[in-house]
A = this chain, B = another copy of it.
Amino acid sequence: MNKFTLLIDCFDQKGIVNAVSGFISENNGNIIDSQQYSSGLTAHFFMRVLVDATKFNIKIEDLNSAFSSIAARFSMNFKFSHHTKKMAVLVSKYDHCLYDLLLRKQYGEINVEIPVIISNHLDLKHVATAFNIPFEYYPIEKISDSTKASYDSKLNQEAQIIKRLQELEIDFIALARYMQILTPQFINSYPYRIINVHHGFLPSFKGAKPYHQAYDKGVKIIGATAHYATEDLDMGPIIEQGVINIDHRDTVEDYISKGRDIEKQVLAKAIRAHAEDKIIVHDGKTLVFD
């Protein structure tokens, strides 16, 4: 173990920083980065510490118990992280977010392992192949005589995917323009560990066809939003947002085209923050450390 991250939140009290930094220095760790925030309004305290643990006295498996007395004293929520996270990417037919994630991973911008790319379509298999990442296909059957997906088939497909994600010990999931609404069974299997990108500036333009909604309204700026998926569609805690100017000459197709650039950027930023344990969800909102 070379480094670990510690995320903390609790009611604001005197002596927290001193207790945490004492725990680290007494055990021969060195604080590389430390950020904290104290909400004046709610008197809640949030902290992220990144520790050089090359000479740390405590073993990984003992971290939680070693810290437990401090945590109890301040009634802390806390989480230690020390390994590179495993991220599954779910896609359908759009490739821009997928390419973006794979390239950023290759450049070292996003520190994750990607054991699998999962899709309900075969369209993007070639992209996975080009980047040497296993691609797995889990189709959803249509209702006979219809273009609608069968809900039974969907539940079954999700169950297979969840089983597979568990086998692969996936830590979190990126919905890289996955064009299916996940059912509660899936959402609740990975609470605050599924990151979706919505191509609307939430809370405006929830649901289907946000660019069409934006066009009809005549807004002058469009946006994209990365958020944790929750049961309440497009209403989960927002992690990152981005915007781009448009004008009267832009058609919905132009929105789609310009939107690609921000969709992939906000998704990548959100994933990066999650992968580096920089996000705390509190009261339905995120706190994202720099």
Contacts and interface: CB of A to CB of B under 8 A. Distances in A.
Interface of A: 14-15, 17-18, 21-22, 24-25, 28, 30-38, 40-41, 46, 95-96, 99, 103, 107-109, 126, 130, 201-204, 217-221, 223, 237-243, 247-249, 251, 257, 260-261, 265, 284-288, 290
Of A25, A248, A260, most B-chain CB atoms within 10 Å:
A248
Given A201-B204, A220-B240, A248-B287, A32 B21 contact: no
Nearest to A23: B18
Most B Cβ at <10 Å: residue of A41, A109, A204: A204
A37 B41 contact: no
Given A99-B99, A220-B238, 12 more contacts: A17-B25, A18-B24, A34-B34, A40-B251, A46-B248, A109-B257, A203-B204, A203-B219, A218-B238, A218-B286, A221-B223, A247-B288
B14 A22 contact: no
A18 B22 contact: yes
B243 A107 contact: no
B243 A37 contact: no
Contacts of A239: 220
A interface majority secondary structure: mixed
7 contacts: A15-B25, A31-B36, A34-B36, A108-B257, A130-B130, A217-B285, A220-B240
Contact of A251 (B41, B46, B288): B41
Nearest to A32: B38
A219 B241 contact: yes
A108 B265 CA distance: 20
Nearest to A246: B241
A166 B214 CA distance: 37
Contact of A21 (B18, B109, B221): B18
Given A18-B21, A18-B24, A257-B107, A220 B249 contact: no
Contacts of A28: 14
Contacts of A257: 107-109
